[in-house]
Structure 1
Amino acid sequence: MITHDFVGIGLGPFNLGLACLTDPLRGSDDLDGVFLEARDRFDWHPGMLLDDATLQVPFLADLVTMADPTSRWSFLSYLKQSGNLYPFYIRESFYPLRREYDDYCRWAAESLPGIRFGQAVTDVEHDGSAYLVRTSAGASFRARRLVLGVGTSPRVPTPLRPLLGERGVTHSADYLAHREELQQEERITIVGSGQSAAEIYLDLLSAAPEHGYELVWLTRSPRFFPMEYTKLTLEMTSPEYGAYHRALPMETRDRLARDQRHLFKGISGDLVDAIYDLHYQQRVTADGPRTTLLTNTEVRDARPLGRAGADLDLLHTETGEAFSLRTGGLVLATGYGPTEPAFLRGVEDRIRRDAKGRYDVAEDYSVDVAGGEIFVQNAEEHTHSLLAPDLGMGPYRNSVIIAAMLGREAYPVEKRIAVQTFGVPDQLRQEVAR
């Protein structure tokens, strides 16, 4: 059996970026990797590929550019090959359509060597010198290292879990597959206040006059937060902020994860404006939208209805008033959470954990007790901060992982890019000491 340098498990944008960046290293550095994906083809959030939805990051945050601007796998290279480079230039927007980004990733995934679709990993073990990876297709792979890119899974708050699987209830991850079904109901309710919730609300509000349903959008947040997109805040997705965050006490990091979430989980300003403008348009040209927007509203309990939908027990957290809502359609835009795959049970003794049982992620994104053997992609928010899911930081993380595997920087790894200093500057600390 061939022993690969690494096996990448899962093929989202981050491991796909790793495949792109290691492609030119296969010959010169003999960095041999194989990538295993359970699905039969690349799909990036297919339930949210709305026609007019765009990424919240510029096209430079593609699979490779921030690590290697000359890569043949860049978004601009994809545009050139698809005949869309000049139309994209004339469009004068840095933000690709989400469908376009999905197609770009599929273009790369279908052209790269070393990617194996239809290979769901079932178990992993260590034979004393390398990892053995087995799949449901009956295949086995052997490698000195693993890179886990299994992605995140839909998160559903505890009070809403009894509704899973009920007709008329869907997570935003599956919205498009259920949109027509939802639109047959008299009332549709959206729970959540992030970008996905706002995109779904705009989509349903646009079609409301045609279908005649009532639309409710509720969140426990005190308001519909816009995404913080000022330049000094964007510097928090930087190598030095990640290093600063990782060095903080665990309790402080966990508190920051809660306090900072609205900075990166909010709604784009353009989308907020589009929602308001559509409200105004419907107010002027029709009888007005049949819709209710509720903040400070928490779901305390939920019961499925016999036919479709649910009864929701709600609490207004500022007034303290309890009330209820019956809805035929329900969209849970409640986000995603990290997933730890069951196939790791066979190598549990090789994984390093923190006091709460989570991956204890090192500076180079490894989580194994020996160091440099098992790496994670987008499973380190609790250690490296909210830059973990950021598409623009994916090439940086892959540059670090590649350097750890090679023992040298194949792609330059930035150490400092920010204007501001996080923590106490060394020169000021020295002044105090004097």
Structure 2
Amino acid sequence: MKQEIALKNAIAASDLHDSSSPASSSSVSDSCSSASSPTDLTSPEPELAGATPYDLIVVGFGPASLSIAIAILDTLAPEFRRSQRILFLEKKSEFSWHGGMLLPHARMQISFIKDFATMRDPTSKFTFMNYLHTKGRLLDFVNLGTFYPLREEYEDYMRWCAEMVQQDAECVAYGETVVGLSVLEQEYFTTEKIPHLAVTSVRTHDPARRTIRLARNVVLCPGARPQFPSCFPPELTSRISHSAEFMHKSSELIALASQSSGAGFAVAVIGAGQSAAEIVHYLHANLPLASHIDMIFQAGALRPSDDSPFVNEIFNPEAVDGIYSLSDDRRRAMFDEYKSTNYSVVRSDLLETLYATVYEQKLPGRTARLGMKNLQILEEVNVIDKQGSEKVILKLRDRYNSGQIETAEYDFVIAATGYDKSAIFTELLSGLNRYVPASEVTVDRGYRVKLEENVEARLWVQGCNEATHGLSDTLLSIMAVRGKEIVDQIFDK
């Protein structure tokens, strides 16, 4: 039986040229009810009030969403844009991109030409070249003779783009965390067709304030969640961190090491990818000389990333067509063949630097501060109190000799163990189980989710389609082109 559902208070109005701030939206009661919403979204019958639906709501305002916003501004005629109600919801208070991994001197792994506009329209004002020109650094950058900007510079470019989007369109509501999508089945809808999805959000710093907005089109771009191996304790202490938070914790870590006495301060970095290698290199350069760093990984050796030109064609936008058309088995085989472009690999120049560091430790009078613990399977992680100080105990088993077990003690452990790209999407889609079970989500070539036929509202997802769309799905390589593909579909261009 259909529940009678109503919205309390008017749902906030904010479109691409609304002078009011999206953050000033009216709240709906503490929670809402829908026919298929998760338990934590249910409440007794909120009251119905006027609710003008949005033409588009985009969940998240990271790189994937930013590419959509820029494509909207670049490709839609101003008069058409002004007729559309569009809103981006972002849980952070401002735009940021991998702030915890903006290590000094760390460079991008893709060419600056693969920015948010150049591959789609080199004349766009949102190109990286125009950013450099605006900042007065264009000739200086040219003199560097590189296609790979510093990571902190590219993040500043993204911020610059995000600020221009907000200045031009006022369409981003920061400080709002989307907690779920649902369908409001009510007498308000006079047909059996479902024209809108309900997007429920809370104020990031005031979770009691819930807001419901209806939208004809929704795009999910909420990013990924830092992932720890299952052997880590569910409740992490201050002595365990993920690489995603490294730069936010680095000052604290260096201070702890400086205050340490006795045999020195020991840090373990778990992982064999670029992030792990960058962190190891940074720690070796910045921790006190009495400290020790171990890099722990399962592989026999650190491997170089493959960025050779023929292999890099897998990241061309048109490659997605061929990948999507393959069978599941063939796509998995292709993933295995090309995973050395992105997974558990390190750029060659950093590999050489780390090898030189390990070699130099063997010279007379040198101290071995950096250890490479290869072929190690991490089986247990425990935290103990030792003389008033926390220690992290790692149980390691040799990959090829299962009887060889080592227990190692560390003052700090950093897990550079990747990200979960699907958990957030599964949670957000749980309120739509009646229309698209989380275990049966099907995404077409255009990134649109297949919903039940009676749902006229449309839903797209970004960032969790690697298995169907290829390795470029979670990377920056094709975002300029993909952003326009999404915009063209949404606005039927």
TM-score range, shorter chain: 0.7 to 0.9
Judged with a 3 Å threshold, the aligned counterparts in structure 2 of structure 1 residues 285 and 81 are, in CA distance, closer, same or farther, namely farther
Structure 1 counterpart of 2:60, from 10, 13, 33? 10
Does structure 2 retain, via aligned residues, the 8 Å contact 1:197–1:333? yes
Show the counterpart of 1:412. Answer: none
Does structure 2 retain, via aligned residues, the 8 Å contact 1:156–1:332? yes
1:95-110 correspondence to structure 2 within 5 Å:
95-110=148-163
Q: Distance in 1 between matches of 2:289 and 2:248?
A: 17
Deviations 1:16-66 (A, max 9, x none): 111111013162544542111011101111111111111111111212222
1:7-406 correspondence to structure 2 within 5 Å:
7-24=57-74, 25=76, 27-30=78-81, 32-112=85-165, 113=169, 114-127=171-184, 128-137=194-203, 138-160=210-232, 162=233, 164-183=235-254, 184-185=256-257, 186-208=265-287, 210-254=288-332, 256-257=334-335, 260-265=338-343, 266-280=345-359, 287-306=366-385, 307-320=389-402, 321-338=404-421, 339-341=423-425, 342-351=427-436, 357=439, 359-369=441-451, 370=453, 373-406=458-491
Does structure 1 retain, via aligned residues, the 8 Å contact 2:215–2:457? no
Partner SS state of residue 36, structure 1: strand
Q: Distance in 1 between matches of 2:253 and 2:150?
A: 24
Judged with a 3 Å threshold, the aligned counterparts in structure 2 of structure 1 residues 243 and 116 are, in CA distance, closer, same or farther, namely same
TM-score normalized by the length of structure 2:
0.76
Judged with a 3 Å threshold, the aligned counterparts in structure 2 of structure 1 residues 376 and 207 are, in CA distance, closer, same or farther, namely same
Does structure 2 retain, via aligned residues, the 8 Å contact 1:372–1:404? no
**1:198 maps to amino acid:** A
1:388-427 correspondence to structure 2 within 5 Å:
388-408=473-493
Q: Distance in 1 between matches of 2:292 and 2:473?
A: 37
Q: Distance in 2 between matches of 1:308 and 1:163?
A: 17
Partner SS state of residue 394, structure 2: strand
Q: Distance in 1 between matches of 2:234 and 2:365?
A: 34
Does structure 2 retain, via aligned residues, the 8 Å contact 1:7–1:36? yes
The answer to which of 103-112 and 252-261 deviates more is 252-261
Deviations 1:278-326 (A, max 9, x none): 4455666961432210222110112112232421111111233222211
* Gap runs ≥5 in structure 1: 409-434
Q: Distance in 1 between matches of 2:325 and 2:64?
A: 24
How far does residue 97 in structure 1 lie from its aligned partner after superposition? Answer: 1.0
Judged with a 3 Å threshold, the aligned counterparts in structure 2 of structure 1 residues 117 and 57 are, in CA distance, closer, same or farther, namely same
Does structure 2 retain, via aligned residues, the 8 Å contact 1:26–1:32? no
* Gap runs ≥5 in structure 2: 1-50, 185-193, 204-209, 258-264
TM-score normalized by the length of structure 1:
0.86
Aligned-residue RMSD, C-alpha: 2.3
- Which structure has the larger Rg? 2
Partner SS state of residue 61, structure 2: coil
Partner SS state of residue 391, structure 1: coil
How far does residue 6 in structure 1 lie from its aligned partner after superposition? Answer: 1.2
**2:78 maps to amino acid:** G
How far does residue 181 in structure 1 lie from its aligned partner after superposition? Answer: 3.4
Q: Provide the aligned length of Structure 1 versus Structure 2.
A: 403
Does structure 1 retain, via aligned residues, the 8 Å contact 2:117–2:127? yes
**1:328 maps to amino acid:** D
Does structure 2 retain, via aligned residues, the 8 Å contact 1:168–1:181? no
Judged with a 3 Å threshold, the aligned counterparts in structure 2 of structure 1 residues 9 and 336 are, in CA distance, closer, same or farther, namely same
Partner SS state of residue 60, structure 1: coil
Judged with a 3 Å threshold, the aligned counterparts in structure 2 of structure 1 residues 151 and 87 are, in CA distance, closer, same or farther, namely same
